[in-house]
Amino acid sequence: MLKVLITGAAGFIGYHLSKELLNKGFEVVGIDEINDYYSTKLKYDRLKELGINFSGEKEPLNHKAFEFRAVSTYDKKAIETLFSTHRFDYVIHLAAQAGVRYSITNPYSYTQSNIEGFLPLIEACRHHKPKHFIFASSSSVYGNCKKVPFEEDDVVDYPISLYAATKKANELMAYTYSHLYNIPTTGLRFFTVYGPWGRPDMAYFKFAKAIMAGEPIDVYNNGDLMRDFTYIDDITEGIYNLLDKPSEKNPSYEIFNIGNSQPVKLMDFIATLENHLNKKAIKNYKPMQPGDVYKTYASTEKLEQHVHYKPDTSLNAGLGRFVEWFKGYNKQS
């Protein structure tokens, strides 16, 4: 049985990817520090779905091939022990401090999680030689790039948030290690991922919560924004398709966009969410926020050529599934 390490396993993408790979017959070791950037209850509830109880010990299981450890990726000794204990075929590094606006007020958490927390993983890969190291980058690295759609060979030297700068730094660090130590490496630039079990700090989640409570939503740049919303199952399927297909270049290093390639106007997004919630939003229009970008738009031609896969879940279908989960989860909570 192939064994995969997934960092950030209690997070949004990490939870879904763990579930996807378990269902496909992989053995998964998940780690997460479970910080309080957003609701730890949601993180623990995701772990319960994977068969882990609040103490981190196994319950009568949903997935017997899943092992969880509460570990920070910047804990060098813990990471080295983990790699010495297990022989990982694949390492997928998703753990990071997310959020553009939060990086304005809490910059040190980004250097700790996204820089100091990146190096121990890739150092461990240097010494233990997994078949493929895959890590999460972000569409934020494109900044306010005027050329659309965004392509992987576009110049991304002008990030407009510290979060984006740390993700760009990850790409540079990964390239260096791939070059020096022959580590098959792939970075993935995710585009506005959404869906069930999502992050409460994301706009769609905050909007749904406020609309249901009859509270106003903050609409930035007076609603004049566009986002390439990508449904979570399209992300996990893309990662699965890439697992055994590292680049054949020398060095074996590649960057791919994973997005829906269909930017949606913010006001159209809100209208679709209102339809699924069957309730109108009270809109509080605000100016553009520092660090925000006007538009994201992924070119996925490179991904399609490499693995013959293209994300294709429509916003209407994806938001419908999110709202169904959202209503059910809040009833239980």
Task: Report the interhelical angle of 315-332 vs 266-277 (nearest 10°).
Answer: 50
Write down the catalytic residue from 15, 38, 163, 231: 163
Kindly give the interhelix angle for 315-332 and 203-213, rounded to the nearest 10 degrees: 60
Q: Closest Cα partner for 187 from 116, 242, 117, 113?
A: 242
Helices assigned H by DSSP within the chain: 12-23, 40-49, 76-85, 102-105, 107-110, 119-128, 162-181, 203-213, 232-242, 266-277, 301-307, 315-332
- Angle at the Cα of 131 from the Cα atoms of 128 and 132, rounded to 5 degrees: 105
Query: What does DSSP assign to residue 32?
Result: -
Are 258 and 186 within 8 A, CB to CB?
no
* Three-state DSSP class for residue 39: coil
- Is the distance from CB of 12 to CB of 194 less than 8 angstroms? no
Helix (H, G, I), strand (E, B) or coil at 146: coil
* ∠ CA 109-113-116, rounded to 5°: 115
Pair 332, 326: CB distance under 8 Å: no
Backbone dihedral region for residue 221 (phi beyond 0: left; psi -120 to 50: alpha; all else: beta): left
- What token pair was written down for 314? 């429509």
Sequence-distant (≥ 6) Cβ neighbours of residue 67 within 8 angstroms: 28, 29, 30
Distance CA 3, CA 21 (A): 10
Tell me the backbone φ, ψ of residue 132, rounded to 5 degrees.
-160, 130
Catalytic site residue 158? no
Mind telling me the catalytic residues?
A: 163
